[in-house]
């Protein structure tokens, strides 16, 4: 067998999992208002069950009605049973084993829904002039009872495994943590007293369900970012006691609301960065242990289990990116796996960014079918069409691969000598190598499938006439915007691609004009990798740098800029470039930033598609403009548009 440890069965109490892969609880926004099950949520999990996952865990699900935010899933009363029964019947029919993550959110609910309240151990500031009160003993008793009732309801709904969420600073962990718990009654003070509430919750769950139902507990490996909080050893000590109360498995996560970048780690974190903590819990508790933390490769997962560091692995975003991850790995077809790159653009950013409300549910840069699984279940065609694709960037490759899978005949033409386009180029920036790897993996997949790929072949009207396609997809991308400033024609002024490909000859002091994602990454690249560069200054005319980054990636990039002593200036306009440097203005102040080189990173503009579109119109050939060729945006938009065009071809 390929990966014999990863894909071996595991029996816990009365449940046997077909393999050691856990699809964990992750927010999706796929529930109906009030936390009810939808067909989209069912389809999403069914796809991963069909893809071979061992255990499918539903996202955080409220156990207590008065503290259940309307935008979270819920099982707080019997009105939710019908939906969850439908869910379990569908996932079981697809071969899956189901788990529900039972959740009470501590201080989170009132921030999500003003009609709820917090359940926390002690009074807590919550914004200017607002203090959340500590829970009364009566409220604690009510919540404990709710945990038990929700557990009984979960078993009635057909869930095979239950997960008790005691991490991420939700109510069980808040009571456990001396960083939050300042009570002086039976629920505070000593470690024994601080354990009381979470242990009562476990007891209520265990008493409400049959003995053969496994109980998993999710914990954070210490209170990262919480002054005076629990250490890893403190949480291990609690977990050992929890085992005596009936916990069978421990899911060792990381992060708190004060350190969300550890809870949903970006590409800036090493793959498997939290596995060592799982090994500590396994050794310290003897429980079936689940490792978490950027595990996105089958060999990586196999090695974790084979080495005894954990018994199972969480592969969450890995299976968002590819619902068939397990099936492909089991078949020895790793080359077909579409890899998560840790960008967070479609998952976390669509939950927590400033414009999150504009998105109906999560998605994925690598997999636009997320949340739209039924829509993307398009049968293979019995009317193959020849589709000419102009441009071999991430959008063009997505279109080619999907069209080939649907039985069409894509012909992918790329003007340069390499597929990947700007997506590959982005992977040359610091800590983003997985993006260039993913680009090359997609290129290799097209080669394996035998897709007609033509490099060094820009699409022209003559090429269109030669191919005579049924439709054309124009994905030729964009080109960097040049500076319209006095002095910008000097040979010391270069673009970002010249830097990232290693062809720059910059020395001394460098100014980067433009403080968006690309400008910041190039600034860090120069400061970190080029010993000839002595200083780097980023000049941004807007009020902040990194405006186009997601929250967590921005935290990481800004932190690394500081570590590399990169200076950033905002609300600052470049006026001209001289032999001495860059003349800038902020308000009424004007001065020169010394510079022997200038890098321009002020955005992109779409390449002109008029010649191609006019020719298609003249020949009555349907065409589609996607990605940056339509409007410069993020890679997630290009991939989504490519996929939508591909499934529309009939």
- Catalytic residue numbers, as ranges: 170
Residue in the block written with tokens 């697809």: 94
Rg (CA), the chain: 27
Answer yes or no: are the C-beta atoms of 118 and 69 closer than 8 Å: no
Q: In a 3-state reduction of DSSP, which class is residue 576?
A: strand
Beta-carbon contacts of residue 185 (< 8 Å; ≥ 6 apart): 137, 193
Distance CA 311, CA 288 (A): 6
Distance CA 406, CA 650 (A): 10
Q: Nearest CA to 181 among 147, 217, 135, 130? A: 135
List 569's β-bridge partners, or say none.
Answer: 539
Residue in the block written with tokens 């969300």: 260
Distance CA 556, CA 311 (A): 31
Q: CB 38: neighbour CB atoms within 10 A?
A: 18
Answer yes or no: are the C-beta atoms of 350 and 362 closer than 8 Å: yes
List, in sequence order, every beta strand (DSSP E) within 242-287: 249-253
Answer yes or no: are the C-beta atoms of 150 and 63 closer than 8 Å: yes
User: What burial class does residue 341 get, using C-beta atoms within 10 Å of its C-beta: 0-12 exposed, 13-18 middle, 19+ buried?
Assistant: buried
User: What burial class does residue 452 get, using C-beta atoms within 10 Å of its C-beta: 0-12 exposed, 13-18 middle, 19+ buried?
Assistant: middle
Distance CA 585, CA 582 (A): 10
DSSP for 315-377?
-SHHHHH-TTHHHHHHTT-GGGPPPP-S--TTTTHHHHSTTGGG-SS---SS-TTTT-TTTT-
Distance CA 205, CA 194 (A): 19
Distance CA 420, CA 441 (A): 10
Q: In a 3-state reduction of DSSP, which class is residue 314?
A: strand
Distance CA 384, CA 364 (A): 28
Answer yes or no: are the C-beta atoms of 634 and 349 closer than 8 Å: no
Handedness of CA 548, 551, 555, 556 (dihedral sign): negative
Adjacency order of strands within the sheet including 493-495: 493-495, 597-600, 508-513, 533-539, 567-569
């Amino acid at each position: 067998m390929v990966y014999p440890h990863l894909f071996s069965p595991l029996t816990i109490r009365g449940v046997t999992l077909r393999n050691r892969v856990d699809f964990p609880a992750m927010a999706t926004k796929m529930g109906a208002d009030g936390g009810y099950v939808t067909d989209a949520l069912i389809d999403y999990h069914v796809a991963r069950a069909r893809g071979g996952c061992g255990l499918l865990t539903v996202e955080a699900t409220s156990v207590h009605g008065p503290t259940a935010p309307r935008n979270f899933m819920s099982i707080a009363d019997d009105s939710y049973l019908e939906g969850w029964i439908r869910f379990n019947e569908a996932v079981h029919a697809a071969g899956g084993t189901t788990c529900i993550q039972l959740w009470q959110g501590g201080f989170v609910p009132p921030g999500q829904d003003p009609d709820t309240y917090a359940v926390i151990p002690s009074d807590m500031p919550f914004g200017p002039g607002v203090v959340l009160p500590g829970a009364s003993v009566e409220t604690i008793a009510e919540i404990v009872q709710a945990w038990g009732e929700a557990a009984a309801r979960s078993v009635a709904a057909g869930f095979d495994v239950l997960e008790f969420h005691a991490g991420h600073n939700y109510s069980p962990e808040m009571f456990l943590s001396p960083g939050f718990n300042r009570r002086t009654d039976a629920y505070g003070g000593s470690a024994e007293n601080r354990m009381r509430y979470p242990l009562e919750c476990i007891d209520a769950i265990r008493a409400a369900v049959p003995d053969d139902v496994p109980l998993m507990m999710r914990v954070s490996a210490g209170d990262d970012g919480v002054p005076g909080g629990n250490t890893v050893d403190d949480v291990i000590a609690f977990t050992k006691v929890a085992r005596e109360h009936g916990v069978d498995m421990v899911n060792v996560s990381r992060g708190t609301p004060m350190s969300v970048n550890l809870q949903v780690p970006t590409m800036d974190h090493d793959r498997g960065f939290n596995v060592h903590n799982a090994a500590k819990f396994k050794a310290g508790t003897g429980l079936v242990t689940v490792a978490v933390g950027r595990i996105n490769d089958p060999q990586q997962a196999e090695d974790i289990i084979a080495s005894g560091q954990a018994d199972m692995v969480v592969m969450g975003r890995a299976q968002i990116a590819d619902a068939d991850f397990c099936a492909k790995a089991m078949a020895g077809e790793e080359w077909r796996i579409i890899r998560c790159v840790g960008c967070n653009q479609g998952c976390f950013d669509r939950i927590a960014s400033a414009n999150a409300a504009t998105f109906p549910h999560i998605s994925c840069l690598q997999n636009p079918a997320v949340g739209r699984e039924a829509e993307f279940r398009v049968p293979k065609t019995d009317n193959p069409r020849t589709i000419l694709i102009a441009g071999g960037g991430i959008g063009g490759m997505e279109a080619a691969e999907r069209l080939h899978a649907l039985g069409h005949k894509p012909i992918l033409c790329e003007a340069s000598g390499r597929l990947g386009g700007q997506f590959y180029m982005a992977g040359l920036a610091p800590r983003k190598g997985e993006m260039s790897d993913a680009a090359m993996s997609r290129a290799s997949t097209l080669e394996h499938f035998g897709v007609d790929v033509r490099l060094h072949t820009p699409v022209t009207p003559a090429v269109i006439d030669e191919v005579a396609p049924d439709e054309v997809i124009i994905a030729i991308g964009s080109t960097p915007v040049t500076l319209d400033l006095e002095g910008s024609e000097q040979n010391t002024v270069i673009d970002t691609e010249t830097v990232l490909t290693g062809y720059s000859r910059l020395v001394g002091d460098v100014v980067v004009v433009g403080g968006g994602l690309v400008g910041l990454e190039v600034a860090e690249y120069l400061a970190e990798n080029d010993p000839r560069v002595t200083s780097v200054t980023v000049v941004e005319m807007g009020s902040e740098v990194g405006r186009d980054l997601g929250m967590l990636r921005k935290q990481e990039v800004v932190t690394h800029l500081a570590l590399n002593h990169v200076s950033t200036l905002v609300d600052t306009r470049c006026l001209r470039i001289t032999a001495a440097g860059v003349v800038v203005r902020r308000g009424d102040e004007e001065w020169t930033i010394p510079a022997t080189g200038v890098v321009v990173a002020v955005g992109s503009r779409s390449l002109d598609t008029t010649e191609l579109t006019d020719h298609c119109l003249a020949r009555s050939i349907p065409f589609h403009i996607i990605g940056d060729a339509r409007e410069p945006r993020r890679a997630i938009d290009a991939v989504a548009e490519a996929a939508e065009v591909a499934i529309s071809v009939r």
